A and B are shown apart, each in its own frame.
Chain A
Amino acid sequence: MQEEINASAVINIKGLCKSFGENNDVLKGVNLSVKKGENLVVIGKSGSGKSITIKCLVRLIDADKGVIKVFGTTINNLGEKELNAIRIRIGFLFQNSALYDSMTVKENLAFPLMRHSTKLSLKEFDDAINESLESVKLIEAKDKMPSELSGGMRKRVGLARTLILKPDIMLYDEPTTGLDTITSREISHLILEIQKKNKTSSIIITHDMTCAKLTGDRIVILRDGIIYAEGTYDTLEKSEDEWVRSFFI
């Protein structure tokens, strides 16, 4: 079964280790795989290395040990050009959206598009921005500055910016953190919509169990730098392990 999963996996991580200084091993051999079109939710206590794992996936942080395969390519030692070719196919939604403060919403979306889709006509260019903003239902905020947006709107714009390059993989770093219950649910539904519409594979890091239930096809729990438990929401909720169950209370 595991072999079968790995064969169709778009993301395959084996024995991922990362430490920061002496005696600070954050990841101690994480094994993870994500199938095409699958939404994988990663939960765990703060500081358990969830964000580090997805940052290693796009080489924002270099792993100390382990093999990371994305679309079947080992990315550990890829050169800049080859790595960028893979990065374009991965969308990353940061915890605080990471919108460019000095640019309007439209410019935020245009920034990656201008650099990677140089052959687009002006009309196609505008259409792509509008389409992306419409998919997150924020077309009216096109000319606003990030400082004029609410937390939920910022998340949506961040999402639109990652979607504009039509990624095959989406990485969400705590997409509902700092948002109210209703907005959190809206973002969770948006994640599902994106998965269905674009057939993306996703890794969603969250502490929000409602988001995990709504979006996750499978859930993994990180503990002490390794994958401690794995399964669907329902199976983990009924787990015999008290510590695992404590996440679902």
Chain B
Amino acid sequence: MNVIKMEPVLRVENLTGIYKGKNGRDPKTAFTAVDHVSFELMPGECLGIIGESGSGKSTLVNMIIRLLDAAEGSVILDGEDITTARGKELRKIYRKMQMVFQSPQESFDPRRTLSDGIGEGLRNSGMSGREAKEESIRLMKLCGLDPELAGCYPHEVSGGQCQRAAIARALAVKPKLLICDEATSALDVTIQKEIIELLDELRSREKEGFSILFICHDIALVQQFCDRVLVLYKGRIVEEGCPDDIINDPKDEYTKRLIAGVL
């Protein structure tokens, strides 16, 4: 039998995030938002992270995409340690890792058109303006957007359309990892479903194959969509496993409460 050992796309080891206290020094007011978190994400996998607000989800994500410095631990993306990457090095890394943000309209520059925003990454990686525009229109079609919206400004389209454009922008550089930070939280329930279906469809396509790190506080969505789920509470992983198992048979006290709260 041929066993292919797969390398994880993302490996997070003992990652710790501390918000320094007043003046960046006072240890009394320092706050540990993420406490020694470790996990792995396999190619093509969709990993959900759930937890209430304040549980450290956003800090964790910000450390992974290097918008925040980690106090301890390491982030390894595609075999490369990116924990201390900066400047040019970091810009290269962003071709492998992209993110879809919570509020779609705010994630686009209000003074630039959607196609301009989608094509920014392409232009930065050396594509000419015209090619980038053509490619961004192709991506918009791929994400189920009318190419006529290419010249629209973010405030001229609906939240759902804007989030589709945000997904198109994230996929423009063909990343191996897509991080969705509460990507559906600001949308209507019906639009939420559409976006999830879009992500699911794009993920299953061989050509666009990528892993998803899905940050969410909605257990039902995670159950629908994710292969595996981590429960984050006060900066620690309290439970990990298949979403159905966790929902049907939660082991941890907090998870029990979380699930009881929804059902």
A, B from the same assembly:
no
- A interface residues, Cβ below 8 angstroms from B: none
- Write the residues of chain B forming the contact surface with A, with a CB cutoff of 8 angstroms: none
